Amino acid sequence: MVMFFFVVGLEIKREVLVGELSSIGQASLPALAALGGMIVPAIIYVSINQTGPAQAGWGIPMATDIAFSLGCLVALGRLVPTPLKVFLLALAIFDDMGAIMVIAIFYTEQVKIISLTLGVLILLMSIVLNLRGVRKTYPYALLGLALWLAFLLSGIHATIAGVLLAFTIPGRSISDQKKFRQQSQAIIEEFPEKDFNIMMVDPLQRKLMNDLVCACEDLDTPLQRLEYNLYPLVSYIVLPIFALANAGVNLAEGTGITGLFNSISLGIILGLMVGKPLGITLFTWLSVKLGLSALPEGANWTQILGTACLAGIGFTMSLFVTNLAFQDPVSIYNAKLAVICGSIVSASLGITIIGFSAKGRS
Q: What is the 3-state secondary structure (H, E, C) of the chain?
A: CHHHHHHHHHHHHHHHHHCCCCCHHHHHHHHHHHHHHHHHHHHHHHHHCCCCHHHHHHHHHHCCCHHHHHHHHHHCHHHCCHHHHHHHHHHHHHHHHHHHHHHHHHCCCCCCHHHHHHHHHHHHHHHHHHHCCCCCCHHHHHHHHHHHHHHHHHCCCCHHHHHHHHHCCCCCCCCCHHHHHHHHHHHHHHCCCCCCCCCCCCHHHHHHHHHHHHHHHHHCCHHHHHHHHHHHHHHHHHHHHHHHHHCCCCCCCCCHHHHHCCHHHHHHHHHHHHHHHHHHHHHHHHHHHCCCCCCCCCCCHHHHHHHHHHCCCCHHHHHHHHHHHCCCHHHHHHHHHHHHHHHHHHHHHHHHHHHHHHHHHC
Whether residue 27 is found in the same domain as residue 67: yes
Whether residue 258 is found in the same domain as residue 325: yes
Residue 196 lies in a domain: yes
The C-alpha atoms of residue 338 and residue 332 are separated, in whole angstroms, by 10
Residue 145 lies in a domain: no
Whether residue 43 is found in the same domain as residue 84: yes
Whether residue 266 is found in the same domain as residue 325: yes
Residue 265 lies in a domain: yes
Residue 322: give the domain boundaries: 23-99+251-361
Residue 353 lies in a domain: yes
Whether residue 209 is found in the same domain as residue 303: no
Residue 66 lies in a domain: yes
pLDDT value at residue 270: 95
Query: pTM of the full predicted structure?
Result: 0.74
Residue 10 lies in a domain: no
Residue 214 lies in a domain: yes
pLDDT value at residue 330: 85
Whether residue 30 is found in the same domain as residue 77: yes
Whether residue 215 is found in the same domain as residue 255: no
* CATH code of the domain covering residue 72: 1.20.1530.10
pLDDT value at residue 139: 92
pLDDT value at residue 4: 81
Whether residue 357 is found in the same domain as residue 255: yes
Whether residue 257 is found in the same domain as residue 309: yes
Whether residue 188 is found in the same domain as residue 87: no
- Compute mean pLDDT per 10 residues along the chain, 362 residues long, and list them: 83 81 78 94 94 90 84 79 83 84 79 87 94 90 92 80 90 86 88 82 88 86 90 81 66 58 92 95 93 85 93 87 87 89 93 78 52
How many distinct structural domains can be found in the chain?
2
Residue 285 lies in a domain: yes
Whether residue 203 is found in the same domain as residue 262: no
pLDDT value at residue 59: 92
